Amino acid sequence: MSTPLPDRVILIVLDSVGVGELPDARTYRDEGSDTVGNISRRVPLGVPTLRRLGLARVAAINKWGNAGEPLGAYGRMAEASPGKDSVTGHWELMGLVLDRPFPVFPHGFPKELIDEFERRIGRATLANRPASGTAVIDELGPEHLRTGRPIVYTSADSVFQIAAHEDVVPVPELYRWCEMAYELVGKGMGVGRVIARPFIGAPGAFMRTSNRRDFALTPFAPTLLDRLTEAGHPVIAIGKIEDLFAGRGITRSVHTTSDDEGMDEVSAATASTPAGLIFANLVDFDTQYGHRNDVAGYAANLERFDARLAAFLPRLGPRDLLVITADHGNDPTTPSTDHAREYVPLFLVGAAVGGGIDLGTRPTFADLGQTLAELFRVGPLAHGTSFLGDILKEGEL
Residue 106 lies in a domain: no
Residue 160 lies in a domain: yes
Burial tier of 163 (Cβ tally within 10 Å: 0-12, 13-18, 19+)? buried
Are 230 and 325 in a shared domain? yes
Into how many domains does the chain fold?
2
Interatomic CA distance for residues 127 and 47, integer angstroms: 40
Q: Output the pLDDT for position 394.
A: 64
Are 232 and 362 in a shared domain? yes
- What average pLDDT does the structure give for the chain? 96
Q: What is the CATH number of the domain that holds 342?
A: 3.40.720.10
Are 343 and 237 in a shared domain? yes
Q: Output the pLDDT for position 68.
A: 84
Are 186 and 250 in a shared domain? no
Interatomic CA distance for residues 182 and 243, integer angstroms: 13
CB 365 within 8 A of CB 387: no
Amino acid identity of 223?
Answer: T
Residue 1 lies in a domain: no
Q: What is the pLDDT of residues 382-394, one digit of tens each?
A: 999 999 999 998 6
Which three-class secondary structure state does DSSP give residue 320?
strand
Are 277 and 355 in a shared domain? yes
Interatomic CA distance for residues 283 and 277, integer angstroms: 19
Interatomic CA distance for residues 293 and 132, integer angstroms: 10
Residue 397 lies in a domain: no
Choose one of 166, 190, 216: the last residue of a domain: 216
Are 317 and 171 in a shared domain? no
Are 166 and 192 in a shared domain? yes
Burial tier of 138 (Cβ tally within 10 Å: 0-12, 13-18, 19+)? middle
CB 83 within 8 A of CB 217: no
CB 234 within 8 A of CB 275: yes
Residues of the chain with pLDDT under 70: 1, 63-67, 394-397
Q: Output the pLDDT for position 39.
A: 98
Enumerate residues 6+ apart whose C-beta is below 8 A from 10. Answer: 266, 270, 278, 280, 316, 320, 321, 322, 323
Enumerate residues 6+ apart whose C-beta is below 8 A from 139. Answer: none
Are 126 and 205 in a shared domain? yes
Are 335 and 286 in a shared domain? yes
Choose one of 201, 216, 231: the last residue of a domain: 216
Amino acid identity of 10?
Answer: I
Residue 2 lies in a domain: no
What range does the domain containing 277 cover?
A: 8-101+217-391
Residue 158 lies in a domain: yes
Are 127 and 147 in a shared domain? yes
Choose one of 178, 197, 216: the last residue of a domain: 216
Q: What is the CATH number of the domain that holds 170?
A: 3.30.70.1250
Are 175 and 237 in a shared domain? no
Residue 194 lies in a domain: yes
Q: Output the pLDDT for position 62.
A: 76
- Whole-prediction pTM value? 0.92
CB 12 within 8 A of CB 313: no
Cα atoms in the Cβ-side hemisphere of radius 13 Å centred on 283? 21
Are 117 and 62 in a shared domain? no
| Closest among 193, 345, 324 to 262, alpha carbons compared | 324
